[in-house]
Chains A and B, each alone.
Chain A
Amino acid sequence: MTNYDAIVVGAGHNGLTNAAYLARAGLKVLVLERMPWIGGAAVSREIEKGWMYSNCSYVCSLLRPELFRDLELARHGLQVVPYGGGVTITRTGDVLGNYTDEDVQRREFARHNPRDGDAYHRYSTDVIRQCKFIRPLLLRTPPDPTSFKPRDIRELIYLGREFTKFGEQFIYDTLRFYTMSIADFLGEYFESDLIKAHLSGSGIIGSAMGVYSPGTAYVLLHHYMGDVDGSIGAWGFARGGMGAVSNAIASAYKSFGGEIVTDAPVERVIVRNGRVAGVATANGNEYRAKIVVSNLDPKRTFTKLFDEGDLNPEFVKRARNFKIRGSSGKLNIALDGLPEFPALGRDNPLRFGDIHFLDSLEKMERAYDDWKNGTWSKEPYLDLLIPSMTDPTMTPPGKHFMSVFVQYVPPKIHGRDWTDQDRDGFKNTVLDQIGRYSPNFKSLIRHVEVRTPRELEDEVGLTEGNIFQGELTMDQLLFNRPFPGYAQYRGPVKGFYMCGSGTHPGGGVMAAPGANAAREILLDLKRPSLVPEGWQDD
């Protein structure tokens, strides 16, 4: 039995980030990981020989540059390469492309609707303003609005000042933006249904809501607020797959003297006299530490790692009711060549980005109806990428890796567990949809890794397979995330902390929750904080 200053349960990117900062502050830190590999949902695995998959998360934009720089992730091997392109292909073979050049983008929109071409500018201006508002809040601990502590009051005042700095109209716009549906929000700018459908995807990815559901406009922001080198809303690939992010953070962590043990599933958190004393793993080992940090989602953390008797019943109820609904699935496909999309023609640069098959908002919403009715969408929303076109390290030469994110996929089928038959049905639904737009696609398939919420829960540990470790709805954002009164990374037991995406500011491979939690832990230890604050932008 070994004593540590702090134990982090789960080697996801947030757990590793948290551990890295604690180790850097001089603590003796241990990270325990259930699987034989590290990374959680930011992982690259070679399932088919020669093919590296980004098995879960697949693109990188939200990773906070403050942390990237501070942990010297470039030195530890991380390179994020922005990708261009992105396109929506319709049933009729029409396309709507993404272009980085503003004027080309305008003309592309104008081709579908002349007015919408001009409206795009107004739309981006308004969304960028929202990004500017939210970004400085990502690397801050949310204040408790019920508290009278000086720090909370100071943070509330800070929030208030940020909120008002763009003027009165912005305040109203923001109140509306955070509570509207993505369809209504887009409807205030655009006329073309295709353009609205094209832009609405970001409002529902990973969320158990439809494009008509109030609250989805904010989810859009959650996907826009990232950047690659200052280009707001841009996305990139981590060279070598998303595992490269976790590996780089792990490398930084180890360089500070940190220790990682894999194949060590933590079974419970040991609580003595009302404070944590360490953890016990399934294979019978006990590790001692006065600080235990969970990278697991809040529901799993409090319903699986704790004896119920150690927690307040109200709190247990809150944890059980935590909204962490699975709504997404994924197919990782090894291809023997590059699939053709006749709508795009050969060598179209749009293929380098996200490919969607959409026609209308109604089609998006009907996909959600299927989810509500307990089955995967029969016409799902796909976010399809071929990262190997940008990153040659993913596959053997001439071969390709296709990542297909699928919305909506329920955690249970009509109330019962997934069967292998369901899984095949789901897989075929997705492959058939792609096949309709790419005639040679199916003949190129070499291997398919199917990930329904069942696999995401069993392998990655995400309850119900929710990719954000909890819905991004008003009841679970900012000072409500994960639970009201517990948004400052501290758990209900002394010495226990949370650092996963289930805490502020949420999921998306930002690494911000892990860093913020480290800041709070160091504060409690009365040590100087090494965690960078967000960069200020005027």
Chain B
Amino acid sequence: MRHKDHFKTAVYQTPFHPRTSFDLTPMTKHRITGKDALPFLNRLITRDIAKIKPGRVGYCVWCDDNGQVIDDGTVFHLREGDYRLCSQERQLDWLTRSAHGFDVKIVEDTHEVAALALQGPTSCAVLKAIGCTGAEKLKPFDIAYFPFADGELMVSRTGFTGDLGYELWIDPARALELWDALFDKGGNHGIRPMGTHALEVARIEAGFIQAQVDFLPADQAIRIDRSRSPFELDLGRLVDFSKPNFNGRRALLEERRRGSRYRLVRLDIEGNKPARSAYIYDSKRNVVGTVTSAEWSPSAKSNIALASMHMPWGRPGDELWAEIYYQRELKWSRVMARCRVVEGAFFDPPRRRATPAADF
């Protein structure tokens, strides 16, 4: 079993979506400590990290000098002044560059922490079954510690699925034991390993973006105009101009004055053919955007997509068309499908936020 790897593995459990099992991409983890850990993170990240209290987690993005997103990730405020930053891309070089002038220690500890995502309506019940008593009291983005196999299990109510869910963090030496306990006690709750495709569907349903798919990390962009700002990724809420300087602040203030070049939208597309890599046209057949992610949503029974649109297109109510190519029995066909701009997630069950968490 690959679960011995110290990589983050998602275990997605739901009575509605039985999935085949695959492993998830490894996630990069950094431990950030030291006197200046908070000011360092606040200069790095666009949102106000001071608002993330110990025992809390925050979703965030960080930018280069030009206000272009380098990556998104989560900041875990483990204990006072002790942070973990998780991201998809490798960030040690950028974090170290950014640390100049700060009294801060940055250690990449991807291989020292085993992480597992437990997601889905019965995830809380499974947690309780393995002995995490009181897990239901965790609010979204809370962190709690539970004794597990004469060690400690860290549980955060976080995830990449947009459903009720948790991420479990443990010493790699106990990872196997944790896995076995979950599958042993979780059987009755329908626990199953989950693969990348299932995760892909879930995150698009939730409207979550992914590096290398919905945006190109700015420090990997060879050509100009390939990178995106937080505003252009619909993440303006993560930019806090009321706090002091942060990377990209000046450029983002300028962008706010001048206007953005792109916007990221969620599209509901007619028909049932996923609009992967589709061009988006306006009513006059001008290309006004491209689809970055697309799937059939089993939860919403919709043909959904994330798309990067040239400004000003992509307002709710705009008439937009997707050019979809699809193949049936080796024959390619093309359809023009009407698109509707949707605000908010495609699938956003109340149980995602309900506290105490329900058992199913």
Contact = CB atoms under 8 A, between A and B. Distances in A.
Interface in B52-96: 90-94, 96
A119 B224 CA distance: 20
A166 B227 CA distance: 12
Contacts, number: 35
Contacts of A128: 222
Interface string B214-257: 00000111111000000000000000000000000000000000
B227 to A, nearest CB: 11
A121 B90 contact: yes
Contacts of A66: none
Contact of A119 (B93, B108, B222, B223): B93
A166 B224 contact: yes
A114 B220 contact: no
Contacts of A116: 93
Given A114-B108, A115-B96, A106 B222 contact: no
Interface string A100-140: 00000010000000111111011001001100100000000
B219 A129 contact: no
Contacts of A114: 92, 108
A132 B223 CA distance: 10
B222 A118 contact: no
Contacts of A167: 224
A166 B96 contact: no
Interface of A is mostly: helix
A39 B195 CA distance: 56
Interface string A523-538: 0000000000000001
B223 A538 contact: yes
B219 A125 contact: yes
B90 A106 contact: yes
Contacts of B93: 115-116, 118-119, 121-122
Contacts of B224: 165-167, 170
A121 B222 contact: no
A166 B223 contact: yes
B87 to A, nearest CB: 11
Given A166-B224, A167-B224, A115 B92 contact: yes
Contacts of B91: 118
A118 B223 contact: no
Contacts of B222: 125, 128-129, 132, 166
A227 to B, nearest CB: 15
Question: Which residue of B91, B220, B221, B223 has the most chain A CB atoms within 10 A of its CB atom?
Answer: B223
A323 B264 CA distance: 55
Contacts of A538: 223
A116 B108 CA distance: 13
A115 B224 CA distance: 26
Nearest to B221: A125
Interface in A460-504: none
A391 B92 CA distance: 40
Indicate the member of B92, B94, B219 with the most A CB atoms within 10 Å. Answer: B92
Given A114-B108, A115-B96, A125 B90 contact: no
B290 to A, nearest CB: 15
Interface in B89-113: 90-94, 96, 108
A443 B223 CA distance: 52
A121 B220 contact: yes
A117 B90 contact: yes
A117 B92 contact: yes
Contact of A122 (B108, B219, B223): B219
Given A106-B90, A114-B108, A118-B90, A125 B220 contact: yes
Nearest to A189: B93
A265 B91 CA distance: 60
A236 to B, nearest CB: 23
Nearest to A132: B222
A32 B8 CA distance: 67
Contacts of A125: 219-222
Nearest to A165: B224
A113 to B, nearest CB: 10
Interface string A75-115: 00000000000000000000000000000001000000011
A229 to B, nearest CB: 19
A86 B272 CA distance: 50
A122 B91 CA distance: 11
Nearest to B26: A103
A127 to B, nearest CB: 10
A261 B223 CA distance: 49
Contacts of A165: 224
A170 B94 CA distance: 19
Contacts of B90: 106, 117-118, 121
Nearest to A538: B223
A128 B108 CA distance: 27
Interface string A153-188: 000000000000111001000000000000000000
A243 B138 CA distance: 72
A494 to B, nearest CB: 44
A164 to B, nearest CB: 10
Nearest to A128: B222
Contacts of B96: 115
Nearest to B224: A167
A123 B93 CA distance: 11
A196 to B, nearest CB: 15
A175 B200 CA distance: 43
B218 to A, nearest CB: 10
A102 to B, nearest CB: 10
Contacts of A117: 90, 92
A118 B220 contact: no
A309 B132 CA distance: 97
A165 to B, nearest CB: 8
A118 B91 CA distance: 7
A114 B223 CA distance: 27
14 contacts: A114-B108, A115-B92, A115-B96, A117-B92, A118-B91, A118-B92, A119-B93, A121-B90, A122-B93, A125-B221, A129-B222, A165-B224, A166-B222, A538-B223
Given A125-B221, A129-B222, 18 more contacts: A106-B90, A114-B92, A115-B93, A117-B92, A118-B93, A121-B90, A121-B219, A121-B220, A122-B93, A122-B219, A125-B219, A125-B220, A125-B222, A132-B222, A166-B222, A166-B223, A167-B224, A170-B224
4 smallest CB-CB distances across A and B, nearest first, come from: A118-B93, A167-B224, A119-B93, A118-B90
